[in-house]
Amino acid sequence: MGIAEDAAHGPDRPERDEPLGKADLGPDGGEFSGITSDEPITDWTHIFERFNLDPSAFEIIGDTVRSSTWQQSKRTDSGDRDIVQLYSYRAQFRRRATSLVTEEDIEAAQKRIRTWRLPRRIPGTGLGAPSAAVLNLADMQIGKSEGGGIEATEQRLYDGLENFQSWVRRQRKGGRNITELVLVNNGDPGEGIAGNYPSQTHTVQGGLRKQMNLVLDVWEAYSRELFPQFEAGQFVSVLCNHMEFGRQGGAKQSITSDSDNGSAFLAETLRRILSSRPEFDGIRWTIPHDEMNVFTDIAGVLVGFNHGHKIPGADATGFEKWLNGQARGDEQAHRARVWITAHRHNYQSFDLGSATVHQCPSCDGGSKWLRDTTGKFARSGILALLVGEHEPMGWSDVAFL
């Protein structure tokens, strides 16, 4: 705060007996008071200069100007006296708002926008950083009777295989440099026969032996058709709740450890089948022992996989709380830039800043009980996406197949 008064007279100012007013200045502006003049003030430039204030930095607030006027006798140069009209003003002023963007900046931006054109590229050239096509087979639950049973589930899966191949073809035609296939068992490949819900033992189609053979048929078909189309390949598997071998018909009770899991056993069986065939020699395998989280490097991006049955909640809030806890004891959980989960039987995606989470839809036929009791349902499908350093997020081109 400061108060400036001007009662001095410079050589270029007429001699006066009355003070010329004061300026009360604050951080954002201030107030003039007692400003006298022998003519109406319409331009306040010289008033600002009177108090050593830069006129270009301040402006008068128009509706705060107050004025008064009166007549006064004044001696003329000849010695006579004359009547003059005098004025007094009070007004508030403020600092001018400064813009960081000038008119020249705006004109230059408009010119750039008007002249910008999409780059022209010939398909197959300028492909950029390599990426991997990640195909997620989540919650197939082969043997589940709902949604058309085994036959309908197989049809959805083989339709998905065809759709995935068409999707890869479109991505490559558009210029994506896809060099790797990552085939994922996101959990619950078979329905199991007991221990997940009360009616399971009465509604399931086929025993464990039949279900496991059907799962291997599907996985082998996907492997046979797709892996040879890529320079490199991975098969990733997670542990899950359906097909836990340790369940003995009780309500979600297990008498053995997490490692006693049909999902992992089937992945190991597929590895034995394919390892005897030279065209699959280069496949990398990620199969857990008893870990719920598995991680693999996909085209330079660390990706975490988890079936999701031990993650509380069904949305981003629950996952974020779970991940914050995981990161305390698992450095890879913190480093993973992409997470892919399943179990919830519906597609979701959310950005947590350090990682993007994709929750897969299910391949099964849905839940009649859920739809009857709540009206809620989600479409069956297969989630595919590209992963790699070709995009800043580490992933792109999500497809619901």
Q: Is the confidence at residue 397, as pLDDT, over 70?
A: yes
Q: Is the confidence at residue 22, as pLDDT, over 80?
A: yes
Helix (H, G, I), strand (E, B) or coil at 130: coil
DSSP state of 196: S
Cα gap 45→51, rounded to integer Å: 10
Q: Is the confidence at residue 388, as pLDDT, over 80?
A: yes
Cα gap 382→91, rounded to integer Å: 71
pLDDT of residue 62: 83
**Closest to 221 measured CA to CA, from 278, 162, 149, 305:** 162
Mean pLDDT of 333-337: 94
At a CB cut-off of 8 Å and minimum separation 6, what does 348 contact? 315, 316, 357, 358, 359
Structure token digits, residue 356: 């993007």
The 10s digit of each residue's pLDDT in 237-250 is: 999 998 888 765 55
For residue 3, name the pLDDT band (cuts at 50, 70, 90): very low
Cα gap 244→339, rounded to integer Å: 23
Q: Is the confidence at residue 13, as pLDDT, over 50?
A: no
List the beta bridge partners of residue 304.
Answer: 295, 339
For residue 339, name the pLDDT band (cuts at 50, 70, 90): very high
- Percent of the chain with pLDDT strictly greater than 90: 53
For residue 11, name the pLDDT band (cuts at 50, 70, 90): very low
Q: Is the confidence at residue 33, as pLDDT, over 80?
A: yes
Predicted TM-score of the model (pTM)? 0.71
The 10s digit of each residue's pLDDT in 268-290 is: 999 999 998 888 989 999 999 99
Q: Is the confidence at residue 332, as pLDDT, over 50?
A: yes
- Percent of the chain with pLDDT strictly greater than 70: 89
The 10s digit of each residue's pLDDT in 199-223 is: 787 788 888 899 999 999 999 999 9
Supply the mean pLDDT for the chain.
86
pLDDT of residue 36: 87
**Looking at per-residue confidence, does 73 or 391 come out higher?**
391
Q: Is the confidence at residue 292, as pLDDT, over 70?
A: yes
- Map tokens 């003329």 to a residue: 76
Q: Is the confidence at residue 184, as pLDDT, over 90?
A: yes
Q: Is the confidence at residue 15, as pLDDT, over 60?
A: no
Structure token digits, residue 292: 């719920």
What amino acid is encoded at 201 in this protein? T
Cα gap 224→102, rounded to integer Å: 62
Cα gap 21→269, rounded to integer Å: 96
Question: Do the Cβ atoms of 339 and 323 come closer than 8 Å?
Answer: yes
pLDDT of residue 10: 38
Question: Do the Cβ atoms of 321 and 358 come closer than 8 Å?
Answer: no
pLDDT of residue 77: 66
Question: Do the Cβ atoms of 88 and 69 come closer than 8 Å?
Answer: yes
The 10s digit of each residue's pLDDT in 44-85 is: 999 999 899 999 889 999 889 999 988 877 666 666 667 778
Helix (H, G, I), strand (E, B) or coil at 263: helix
Cα gap 361→381, rounded to integer Å: 6
For 273, the enclosing helix (H) or strand (E) is helix 262-275
The 10s digit of each residue's pLDDT in 120-173 is: 655 555 578 899 999 999 999 998 888 888 999 999 999 999 999 999 999 998
Structure token digits, residue 95: 């600092």
Helix (H, G, I), strand (E, B) or coil at 169: helix
Domains of the chain are 2-95 (no CATH), 131-400 (3.60.21.10)
